[in-house]
């Protein structure tokens, strides 16, 4: 297996996966809207919703790691559906036609999260009907499509759900936390004691590469990937803020109040022409006030993988990166 297509390589995780595969000596092609900036990879510019672009990107590939997705907090449902569902369906169909042998579909544990606590959970079934928010619902549908396409005699499909991936340069989790902390809009919901597990980016990369090379016998199923180090959410927020050089949140807001406010803001952003992201959504309020950590034994056994960067080491690396950014000369 030497010729791999990585979609979504302009994002932090996709770029890191593509760079790792290049470093491993594989022939890597990437597909995304903007340049991946991965040295040694062949970039294809375009969308996973464009049949001609997808067909061209898959030419002579034997494996796919599919990360491309619409991951924003807000937006019309049809935009999420077009990319997350339609793009996945197109990629699977064309991969089958191109004779691709392995397909690693990158999903999210939120496909099986109904707003209630998950403590030591396994990879429950994707549930588009009850998943929370446009992103989670469309990713749940896409995951079901991917698993339905698994064919032991043809296209082998495996689903990997990295949970809350973060690291230096992250604009999704770390970037949002830092922006809200700087503007005083990062309260702790409830007592902040809910246990949340996360995944340092290097560990997520290792897991996806392990899935790409895993025994075909473990394909056809979903696997949740985390650091395996659940911590109270107040501790996680404090650690990321301290490593990023911003004030640690001290203000507490009742979780029920935050969820209600999130629902109101969701409705406002759906019905009014409001720019940017809402300061809070129902989904985010639930994520910050309920436990979500997962039993990793099955994942580690199936993929032959264990995380090598602990949470505290990851925070130290984030702090070092922040210090380098602060001392770098202005452009």
3-state SS, 23-80, equals HCCCEEEEEECCCCCCCCCEEEECCCCCHHHHHHHHCCCCEEEECCCCCCCCCCHHHH
Which residue matches tokens 């300061």?
279
Active site residue 223: no
Which residue matches tokens 């056809």?
220
Tell me the residue length of the chain. 331
Q: What is the DSSP letter of 112?
A: G
Tokens of 102: 């392995």
The residues, any chain, with a CB within 8 Å of residue 320's CB and separated by 6 or more, are: none
| List of long-range contacts for 179-187, beta carbons under 8 Å, 24+ apart | 180/279, 181/241, 181/244, 181/246, 181/247, 181/248, 181/249, 182/246, 182/247, 185/279, 186/237, 186/241, 186/249, 187/249, 187/251, 187/252, 187/253, 187/258
Distance CA 56, CA 291 (A): 43
- Measured CA to CA in angstroms, residue 35 lies from 6, 31, 43, 80, 167 at distances of 13, 9, 7, 21, 20
Q: Of the listed 135, 200, 219, 223, which one is catalytic?
A: 135
Residues marked as catalytic: 135
């Amino acid at each position: 297996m030497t010729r791999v297509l990585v979609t979504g390589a302009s994002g932090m995780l996709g770029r890191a996966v593509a760079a790792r595969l290049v470093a491993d000596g594989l022939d890597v092609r990437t597909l995304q809207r903007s340049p991946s900036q991965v040295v040694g990879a062949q970039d294809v510019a375009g969308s996973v919703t464009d049949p001609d672009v997808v067909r061209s990107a898959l030419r002579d590939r034997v494996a796919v790691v599919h990360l491309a997705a619409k991951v924003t907090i807000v937006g019309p449902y049809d935009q999420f559906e077009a990319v997350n569902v339609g793009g996945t369906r197109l990629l699977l169909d064309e991969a089958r036609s191109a004779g691709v042998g392995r397909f690693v579909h990158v999903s999210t544990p939120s496909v099986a999260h109904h707003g209630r606590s998950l403590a030591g959970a396994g990879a429950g079934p994707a549930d588009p009907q009850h998943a929370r928010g446009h992103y989670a619902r469309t990713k749940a549908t896409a995951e079901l499509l991917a698993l339905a396409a698994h064919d032991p005699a043809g296209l082998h499909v495996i689903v990997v759900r990295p949970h809350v991936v973060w690291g230096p340069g992250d604009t999704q989790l770390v970037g949002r936390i830092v922006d809200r902390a700087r503007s005083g809009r990062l309260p702790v919901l409830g007592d902040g004691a809910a246990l949340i597990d996360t995944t340092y980016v290097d560990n997520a990369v290792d897991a996806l590469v392990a899935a790409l090379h895993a025994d075909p016998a473990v394909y056809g199923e979903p696997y949740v990937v985390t650091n395996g180090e659940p911590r109270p959410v107040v501790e996680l927020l404090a650690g990321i803020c301290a490593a990023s050089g911003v004030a640690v949140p001290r203000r507490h807001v009742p979780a029920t109040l935050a969820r209600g406010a999130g629902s109101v803001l969701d409705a406002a952003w759906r019905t009014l022409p409001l720019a940017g992201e809402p300061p809070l959504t129902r989904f985010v309020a639930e994520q910050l006030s309920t436990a979500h950590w997962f039993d990793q034994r099955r994942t580690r056994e199936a993929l032959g993988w264990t995380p090598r960067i602990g949470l505290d080491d990851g925070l130290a690396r984030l702090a070092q990166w922040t210090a380098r950014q602060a001392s770098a000369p202005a452009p």
